[in-house]
Amino acid sequence: MRQWAYRGVGAVTRWWRTQAQPAQALRAALAAALAWLITGVLPDPASDYPYYAPFGAVIATTLSLVGSVRESLQAIASIALGGVLAFFANAVPIPGPILIALTVGIGVLLASLTWLGSTGMWIPTAAIFTLIAGDGEAFYVGAYAGLTAVGAILGVAINAIFPPLPLEPVRRRIDSFRHATADDLRALADYLEQDPDERPKELENWTVFQTRSEMYSTLGLAREAARGNRRGRKQKETIDNLSSEATRLDRLSNITNDLKDLLLREQHLPSDHNQSLQLDGDFFPPLITALRTIADILAGNLAEPDGDAEKNPAELEHDKVVEVIKKLEGLQTDVKKSRGQDPLADTIFMTLRRGLDSLQ
């Protein structure tokens, strides 16, 4: 029974470390509850609007301390602008539908102010709230923005006491990008194994673009979260290593795209223009093997040879890369002997070598 309990605690701990949202939810819940309690002791009529303080706490509880401060200030500014807009619009003697349309239209235009960031759309929202719930009164504008600021201050304080540093999401995104790049390499190898007349003219892998964007987005968030964060100072080396890994994989992905462009262009040129190496015969098998080996290294699918049971994954990867490089160098020598100097072949070999070098 105790063993099952230990396993359960271990599973929950691993899940907690690999997910950024549960910790964020806990911080937001704590900040919102404290904000609600504080507004409960404020004098009337501020206590008539207790829900705005938890609202500010939720806005301020982001995945980084710096982002928490920035988004809090932007949101409060947007709400204040929306309230002021509604206050002045309410003073204009025009019918209700026209008043709403005018207020929302101006609010949406103001929302495009770049310094407000993603919170700009709170301007028309706050303006509508002020017109409908607050009858455009000046006090409501102050209560709305002021209580939101109270909650935001609490949210920032909670983030400062329990600073977030989402490193595990970065590791997961890097791993996803690594496997997407491996799939891209396998797709290119599969393409080369097909009959030339059946090969498609395009080889798009949108998963690579999506996972690359997600990887850099989470990495940027982690770097921002490390600023002004006592945990970030301790994890600087880890963040730098993750950045280097992301850059290395991105470089390899770009090299894969270069190789795809070379091979696709060569295969679909008109015959009278294709004066370069015909990519067939004894050239394909080693090229396909190299592509699949790089993919296996990325995906961690290397099998340990006999007698190498004690080698760690890094040593196995290194040995495999060296082996593939030697085979490609031998192939390059054979191609030069049999066909002479060929620009396309040289470019393919150079591109593959860049990809293998990036693995080391």
Cα torsion 195, 198, 200, 206: sign:
negative
**Residue ranges per domain, the chain?**
2-161, 179-359
List, run by run, the mean pLDDT of 10-residue segments along the chain (360 residues): 54 57 84 88 74 88 84 91 89 84 91 89 89 77 86 90 84 91 88 72 77 91 81 81 90 86 66 49 75 84 55 71 77 72 75 78
pLDDT in the model for residue 169: 85
- The reply to whether the predicted model has a pTM over 0.85 is no
pLDDT in the model for residue 277: 46
pLDDT in the model for residue 355: 79
Give the C-alpha separation, 234 to 36, whole Å. 34
pLDDT in the model for residue 78: 92
pLDDT in the model for residue 358: 75
